[in-house]
Amino acid sequence: MTRRDTDWDGVRLHVVTGKGGTGKTTVAAALALALATDGRRVLLVEVEGRQGIAQLFDCPPLPYAERRVAVAPATPDQPGGDVYALAADPESALIEYLEMFYGLRHAGSALTRFGVLDFATTIAPGLRDVLLTGKAAEAVRRKEGGRRVYDAVVLDAPPTGRIARFLNVSAEVSGLARVGPIRGHADMVQRVIRSPETAVHFVTVLEEMPVQETLDGIAELRDLSEPAGSQAAGHGAIAAHGSPYRPGSPGSGDGGRAHPAGGFQVGGIMINMVRPAALAGEQLRAAARGQVDEDDLALSLKAAGLDDSRRLAADLATELAEHATAASAAQGRRRRLARTGRPCYDLPLIADGIDLAGLYRLAAALRDQAAA
């Protein structure tokens, strides 16, 4: 079985984050489809109780169980694979954890009765995150008959603003529990997440706020990856909003495979909803300055048989100028993203909403660019 090289060979846990509205869940699903080739089996996990995966794949709400939701189609040069999905919630994860590691059966009803989960999410949100990341880590490591059950796991993670805290579970929990079983569990989860087998991908669109949040999120993960940073971890390190991006942080600029032990591996930047620019080069720059040759435009419109070509030319010139302003601002943002040294992948805007066919198109785009 041969498989072409991708940028993330060796990565088995793909964490996908992104600001709300950037299509994080869609991209996570497309990535899972893209990874599911060659008879591979991929698990897609969601953790925010939104049932976003079920909506995307047009299936009934997912239970806390792994269900096959899609078959990646075979191509002439590659056979297909399977995508499984799981909607993980902390309550079920806790009950499963108790049964698996402590043999505590029927723990569920007592826990619910005493509001343990309400309590845990209120008093120690870190515990909740450990349970969720722990479920993904467990799926990554799970074996049956000596073989890995899943070739890859894609985690549809919380939004960019919360991702560092979500992944930095060991610091979260170590503040609370210096020893004890939950600490041991958190440390195991942390080893998986901070290993070269895990990559954290950022989904963004080329708008100001999502791009800035992406840069901030990458900087945060890099801060937490430095030995000094992880020593001093805890809460102060995360609270630094908008910490400036520092070029040349460890783990940058070399394809991301060489990072210090214990560092988070920042994966790729998935630029979603990319629309082709209507103009290019000098024409775009001129239009962005508001310089559109209306006479020329009017002549062409007249040639096309359109009425009132002068007024129409003025209106269309306004539209072109607005488009060019937005497009050159987007180009500037793209350059800022590129300066992180992380590979950027373009995903086309799928008009008329995402359906299964749209997901396959996005998956193909990811594969074409060697993201999977």
Buried b / exposed e over 172-188, threshold 16 CB at 10 Å, is bbbeebeeeebbebbeb
189-248 binders of another protein (CB under 8 A): 207-210, 212, 234-235, 238-239, 241-242
Tell me, by CB under 8 A, how many residues bind another protein: 84
Q: Helices (H) and strands (E) in the chain — how many of each?
A: 16, 10
In the complex, least distance from residue 238 CB atom to another protein, rounded to whole angstroms: 8
Region binding another protein by CB under 8 A among candidate stretches 67-75, 134-142, 168-176, 251-259: 168-176
Query: Judged by CB under 8 A, does residue 322 bind another protein?
Result: yes
| Residue 99, number of CB atoms within 10 A of its CB | 14
Structure tokens at 153: 């796991």
Which residues, in sequence order, are CB contacts of 42 under 8 Å at separation 6+?
32, 33, 35, 36, 81, 82, 83, 84, 150, 151, 152, 153, 154
Region binding another protein by CB under 8 A among candidate stretches 191-199, 222-230, 257-265, 297-305: 297-305
Type of residue at 221: L
In the complex, least distance from residue 279 CB atom to another protein, rounded to whole angstroms: 5
In the complex, least distance from residue 200 CB atom to another protein, rounded to whole angstroms: 18
Which one of 7, 12, 17, 22 is in contact with another protein (CB under 8 A)?
A: 22
In the complex, least distance from residue 122 CB atom to another protein, rounded to whole angstroms: 5
| Residue 71, number of CB atoms within 10 A of its CB | 12
Query: Judged by CB under 8 A, does residue 118 bind another protein?
Result: yes
Type of residue at 53: I
Of 143 and 178, which CB lies nearer to another protein in the complex structure? 178
Of 35 and 330, which CB lies nearer to another protein in the complex structure? 330
Contact 273, 23 (CB under 8 A): yes
Report the distance separating Cα 363 and Cα 357, nearest Å.
10
In the complex, least distance from residue 294 CB atom to another protein, rounded to whole angstroms: 10
Of 107 and 188, which CB lies nearer to another protein in the complex structure? 107
248-287 binders of another protein (CB under 8 A): 275, 278-281, 283
According to DSSP, the β-strands at 81-87 and 147-148 are unpaired
Which one of 315, 339, 355, 368 is in contact with another protein (CB under 8 A)?
A: 315
